[in-house]
Amino acid sequence: MTAPLAPEALDAATLSVLLGSGAGSGPFDPEQELTFEQVEGAAHVWRVRPTPAVPRAGRPAPPNSLIVKFPPADDGVRAFKERLGLPAVEHALHGPDGVQGTALLRLPGLRGGGPAAAGVLVLDDMADGTLPPRPALSVADSERAVRALASFHARWWARIPDAWQWLPDEAAPARANFLVGTFGSAGLSALAEADWLPTEVRHGSARLAERAPALLRALSAPPLTVVHGDLHPANILFPADPAEPGIRVIDWEAATRSRGPVDLAFLIANSEADDDLELLDLYRRELAATVPGITADGLLSDYRRALLYYYLRRVALRAAYAGVPDDPAMRRVAAALVRHRAFDELDAL
């Protein structure tokens, strides 16, 4: 396997090569100085800005800013992503037949990609997007993101093209076996040491390990939509103009065909909003405008299951090598699991 390229080793000439066009013919002038800004909370995502330069005759003006992705440096995260084939999903989503955004949620287009083995992916010009200043989304930004998310989900709700079989669902064997197996072994062992978790969550974890396959099947049952699968603040860019609606979302390698509230659980876990049910009701109202048959009870049930999935996946991802993640997002979800009696959903699966 080719070793991942260290971001600090990248210069303009190397970037041109990674874009597949050779020195002097990529989006940046090979003599142009580049600066790198690490995206907060996402060590493998960087914004690249060139110093101002006059474009050469016959060449288009270079982009003002690119978002460049690198494989994560952490061996545990890399192994997890490679096991699930996530980089391949992202490349497919950015291909010519991949997902297109809506007026409110825009997907960045693939401007160029590096060697697949190295996992380098270069996305399009991000000059018009600003990253949130805090690890968690403000209430206003959360509402803005929920509206955009509902608009995007509505576009694909129960109408994902048959040709998109490369887009996995949560119950895909390789994906499900890894998540369920890791949670049931390393996860439960690590949870025994996580005394900061509410008692209800710790006691419910063994039941979740038992019913996890059924949970993943339920989240993979119609109606399905295209789900981002990792919707935290570092993956959301807001237009620089506050008056402009919508958001732009990067880092689609965890995308699946799933129930829409899966994305909502990830977003709410990273929100400063006190009342998650208000955001869930906003999501329902926005969906109901174009998607028939949406009910409050149905969405609440899917949301409770999505909270269980968030908890399951984060524990499975981290427990084997770093223990149970103790951070604000995990604590918010743990509190929501108790508040909404989410473990009761397991009895209905």
Written as one letter, the residue type at 147 is R
d(CA 255, CA 316): 17
Max avg pLDDT among 121-125, 203-207, 232-236, 314-318: 203-207
Predicted confidence at residue 171, as pLDDT, reads: 94
Give me the mean pLDDT over the 133-145 stretch. 90
CA–CA dist 152, 275 (Å, integer): 23
Q: Which of 47-56, 206-215, 217-226 has the lowest mean pLDDT?
A: 47-56
- Give the model's pLDDT for residue 40: 64
> How do residues 275-314 score in pLDDT, each as one tens digit?
999 999 999 999 999 999 999 999 999 999 999 999 999 9
Residue 151 above 50 pLDDT? yes
17-26, 162-171, 268-277, range with the lowest pLDDT: 17-26
216 — pLDDT class (breaks 50, 70, 90): very high
In CATH, which superfamily holds the domain spanning 130-348? Aminoglycoside phosphotransferase (APH), C-terminal lobe (3.90.1200.10)
Return the higher-pLDDT residue of 69 and 288: 288
Enumerate residues 6+ apart whose C-beta is below 8 A from 314.
325, 329, 330, 333
Average of per-residue pLDDT values in the chain: 85
Q: What is the pTM of this model?
A: 0.90
Q: Which residue has the higher pLDDT, 35 or 277?
A: 277
Q: For residues 322 and 10, which has the higher predicted lDDT (pLDDT)? A: 322
- CA-CA distances (angstroms) from residue 246 to 106, 178, 343? 8, 35, 34
pLDDT of residue 15: 64
Give 143 or 165, the one with higher predicted confidence: 143
Q: Report d(CA 169, CA 223) in Å as an integer.
A: 12
Q: Are 286 and 148 in contact (CB under 8 A)?
A: no
Q: Looking at mean pLDDT, say which of 118-132, 171-185, 335-349 comes out highest.
A: 335-349
Helix, strand, coil percentages (3-state) for the chain, rounded to 5, are 45, 15, 40
The closest of 252, 234, 217 to 86, measured between CA atoms, is 252
Lowest mean pLDDT across 65-79, 103-117, 175-189: 103-117
pLDDT of res. 110: 74
Angle between helical axes of 328-339 and 199-219 (0-180°, round to 10): 90
Break the chain into its structural domains and give their ranges: 7-128, 130-348
Say yes or no to pLDDT of 255 above 50: yes
Q: Higher model confidence: residue 117 or residue 273?
A: 273
pLDDT computed for residue 1 by the predictor: 37
Question: Which residue in 106, 107, 121 sits closest to 42, CA to CA?
Answer: 121
The string of pLDDT tens digits covering residues 264-273 is: 999 999 999 9
Residues 246/286, Cβ–Cβ less than 8 Å: no
Model confidence pLDDT, tens digit, residues 310-335: 999 999 988 878 889 999 999 999 99
Q: What pLDDT score was predicted for residue 48?
A: 80
**More reliable by pLDDT, 53 or 195:** 195
